[in-house]
């Protein structure tokens, strides 16, 4: 079995990500794993997050969703029952630190490389890239994460979410300062990374060392 498929959303509402969500739902047969741990639980309780994700996929006639908020001690065997993993938004630094501290980042990489399908929304998308320093545009490193290297599952691209046209200079500075190549996703855009290439939904941009171009 080869690699699975990645679905990365720019971080907008369920209306913004409808097409991407629908494509992901086509791959779900038995059960979806939902990981909302990037979110600020004080503002958005996990119970409300679960209610929200069930609403998103109910419109595609899929409701079998299990939520994990503690990733410690999870195993490769635990992952086998899921057709897909959905990692929600919030603080990207907090999310990556928890993944690394529990070694769940390694489990995710293994899951993907063995045919598993992963959906990342906002912070969940950014961690799939080479480096999450792109998240500093919106997030603060409140957890003191020192190693900002992501899972690097997108041909050495880093991901920038919630992109607005007026932020081009900010992204270019991050690209040049950290020697990155970046796919910038507005809130109403997303990409699907398959074995045979990257398909875009909506208008995404590629930043690469002083160059910016629309992604086709």
175-207 CB burial, b ≥16 within 10 A, e <16: beeeebbbbbbbbbbbbbbeeeebeebbbbbbb
Residues 144 and 184: their CA atoms lie apart, in Å, by 25
Count of the separate structural domains present in the chain:
1
Report yes or no on 157 lying in a domain: yes
For residue 148, the domain's CATH number is 3.40.50.880
pLDDT digits (tens, 9 = 90+) for 157-169: 999 999 999 999 9
* Helix locations, 59-103, DSSP H: 76-79, 92-101
Residue 88 resides in a domain: yes
pLDDT tens-digit map of 149-196:
999 999 999 999 999 999 999 999 999 999 999 999 999 999 999 988
- Alpha helices (runs of H) in 44-178, residue ranges in sequence order: 46-58, 76-79, 92-101, 104-113, 123-126, 168-178
- 1 assigned to some structural domain: no
Q: What are phi and psi of 128, to 5 degrees?
A: -75, -15
Could you report the per-residue pLDDT of 199-208, keeping only the tens digit for each?
999 999 999 9
Q: Which domain holds residue 68?
A: 6-214
pTM to 2 decimal places: 0.95
72 within a domain of the structure (yes/no): yes
């Amino acid at each position: 079995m080869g690699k699975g498929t990645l679905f990365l959303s720019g971080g907008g509402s369920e209306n913004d990500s409808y097409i991407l969500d629908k494509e992901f739902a086509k791959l779900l047969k038995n059960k979806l794993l939902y990981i909302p741990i990037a979110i600020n639980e004080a503002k958005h309780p996990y119970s409300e997050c679960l209610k929200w994700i069930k609403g998103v996929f109910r419109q595609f006639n899929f409701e079998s969703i299990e939520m994990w908020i503690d990733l410690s001690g999870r195993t490769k065997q635990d992952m086998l029952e899921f057709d897909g993993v959905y990692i929600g938004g919030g603080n990207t630094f907090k999310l990556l630190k928890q993944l690394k501290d529990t070694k769940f980042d390694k489990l995710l990489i293994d899951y993907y490389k063995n045919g598993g399908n992963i959906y990342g929304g906002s912070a969940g998308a950014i961690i799939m890239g080479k480096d999450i320093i792109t998240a500093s545009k919106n997030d603060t490193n409140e957890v003191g994460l020192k190693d900002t290297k992501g899972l690097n599952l997108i041909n050495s691209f880093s991901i920038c979410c919630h992109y607005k046209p007026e932020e081009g200079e900010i992204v270019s500075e991050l690209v040049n300062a950290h020697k990155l190549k970046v796919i910038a996703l507005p809130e109403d855009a997303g990409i699907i990374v398959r074995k045979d290439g990257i398909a875009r939904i909506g208008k995404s941009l590629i930043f690469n060392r002083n160059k910016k171009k629309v992604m086709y």
